[in-house]
Amino acid sequence: MSLKIRLARGGSKKRPYYHVVVADARAPRDGRFLEKLGSWNPMLAKGDERRVELNVERIQEWIAKGAQPTDRVLRFLAEAGIAQREARNNPDKGKPGKKAEERAAEKAQKAEDAKAAAAEAAAE
């Protein structure tokens, strides 16, 4: 049985609140879990100490048993000094897609055509 330390969503609509839980990887996100290990309230300010609350001892025990934290939980653990998270690098993330590049090229072509037409009108 593969275990994950992950987030389970709670709270009402547009007011998210997450529980940090250890669950079977096959279980649904908000479904059955083995133990609640902490919480994350993204509605609080980033500097607030109550934003992320973790039960460090229990998390370390579950990791020793083989539970794998998800990427978001691993960020919390790295901030708390429990685990190490390698920085990721995706240089293509900020680049526009094919359609956006086509639209930009089309817009530039129209601007050039308008500039050329204005130059012709000025020359006459």
DSSP 68-81: EE-HHHHHHHHHHT
Q: Where in the chain are the domains?
A: 3-80, 93-124
CATH fit for domain 3-80, picks 3.40.50.970, 3.30.1320.10, 3.65.10.10, 3.90.79.10: 3.30.1320.10
Residue-wise pLDDT tens digits, 13-70: 999 999 999 999 998 888 889 999 999 999 999 889 999 999 999 999 999 999 999 9
**Residue 123: pLDDT over 80:** no
Q: Under a CB-based contact definition with an 8 Å cutoff, are residues 5 and 69 in contact?
A: yes
Contacts of 79 (CB under 8 A, 6+ apart): 52
Q: What integer is the mean pLDDT of 105-119?
A: 91
Question: Helix or strand or coil: residue 9?
Answer: strand
